[in-house]
Amino acid sequence: LALYDDDGTDLGWSDVTVGSWYMKYLRSGMMYTLLHGDGDADTVRPEEGIKRVEFLKFIMQAALMDHDKAFSMESCYDSPYDDVLAEQWFTGYVCKAKSLVLFDTYDNLFLPSNGTTRAEVAEAIYRMFKAEEWGVFGPLM
Q: Quickly state the pLDDT bin for 71 (edges 50, 70, 90).
A: low
Q: Quickly state the pLDDT bin for 139 (edges 50, 70, 90).
A: very low
Region 73-86: what's the mean pLDDT? 86
Which contacts qualify for 51-55: CB closer than 8 Å, 24 or more apart? Answer: 51/112, 51/113, 51/114, 51/115, 51/116, 52/103, 52/110, 52/111, 52/112, 52/113, 52/114, 52/115, 52/116, 52/120, 53/90, 53/93, 53/94, 53/112, 53/113, 54/116, 55/116, 55/121, 55/124
